[in-house]
Structure 1
Amino acid sequence: MPVIRMEFLIHAPQQICFDAARSIDLHMESTAKTRERAIGGVTSGLIQLGESVTWEAVHFGIKQNLTAKITEMEEPRYFVDEMVAGAFKRFSHVHEFIPLGASQTRMLDTFDYTSPFGMLGRLVDWIVLEKYMTHFLRTRNEYIKGVAEAQVNKSNGLF
């Protein structure tokens, strides 16, 4: 049961970071390499507590569907999405946003998952999946950081 934890310092207010992380449209932009797209549930805009989204994507050369539901949310502090259906046995993904003054936010990302197939799944985690997921989440979070900071710079007339 790997747990992937990441921390990012974002030069943007907490609310902007919170909204960027739950934007369906931004998620699709940030995962273009895996051709991820929302095909069910909430398919654009900001996902809310109790709502779900079904993603279609290509991972490891295989087209897959995964449905996640927002099971906890305290705006703009954190939200949790959990897998309802998909390739994992289970996952819980916690997104936290800690304000550091008015213009900076510490974003904490914790992805706790269990692969299917028991011992074989743990072997796949060890060989490739944990590294793959770490890279996938880091790329997505760096995209969120860039978009949030660009939005602040744009509103400050720097573009």
Structure 2
Amino acid sequence: MKLYKIETEQLINASIEDCWDFFSSPKNLQTITLDNMSFEIQDFDDKRMYPGQIITYTLKPLLGIKINWVTIITVCKENQYFIDEQRFGPYKLWHHKHFFEPAEDGRTKMTDIVHYALPFGYLGRMMNSLVVENKLKTIFDYRYNKIEELFNSKL
């Protein structure tokens, strides 16, 4: 199994508490996801994030094909980090860590680290090179820009 990694960092003009309130709420996933992916939360218990929380949603990441995705919050330490993992979905493995640390001038440094693997062996590796890697870059670039708009464009 070939394991891939994506790592992003962003300085956010908000306190850790404000960042945590926004990013730890599944309701805000749609806000930071490309509109053309048709992201919709199907089910979650509408509680603050906690270990064991299950979130189900649908999206259309490629060619308008609808997929179901189920993630679970495996670890959660308020105002510091949380980890979500795919239980059912398009990846053989999806492990996404979100870290929040104090930065200068009251800002917050947010770091995302994703490890993922695709099914289908050699075919999956080809799909990553041809499609998936670029699609994930587009998704994370969009998130970066949306977060800039939401938090960092205020004067």
TM range (shorter): 0.7 to 0.9
Aligned length: 151
1:3 corresponding residue in structure 2? 5
What do residues 34-63 of structure 1 show as CA deviations (whole Å, max 9, x unaligned)?
Answer: 110110234x56433210101101111210
* SS of structure 1 residue aligned to 2:29: helix
Once the two structures are superposed, the pairs formed by residues 60-139 of structure 1 within 5 Å of their partners are 60=62, 61-101=64-104, 103-139=106-142
Q: Which amino acid letter does the alignment assign opposite residue 24 of structure 1?
A: P
TM-score of the pair, normalised by structure 1: 0.85
For the aligned residue pairs, the C-alpha RMSD in angstroms reads 1.9
8 A Cα contact 2:49 2:76, kept in partner: no
* Stretch deviating more after TM superposition (92-101 or 22-31): 22-31
Unaligned runs of 5+ in 2: none
* Stretch deviating more after TM superposition (139-148 or 10-19): 139-148
* Stretch deviating more after TM superposition (127-136 or 81-90): 127-136
For residues 114 and 11 of structure 1, what CA distance do their matches in structure 2 show? 33
**Distance change in 2, residues 1:129/1:112 (3 Å):** same
Unaligned runs of 5+ in 1: none
1:21 corresponding residue in structure 2? 23
**Distance change in 2, residues 1:83/1:133 (3 Å):** same
For residues 96 and 145 of structure 2, what CA distance do their matches in structure 1 show? 17
Q: Which amino acid letter does the alignment assign opposite residue 72 of structure 1?
A: V
Q: Which runs of 4+ in 1 moved over 6 A?
A: none
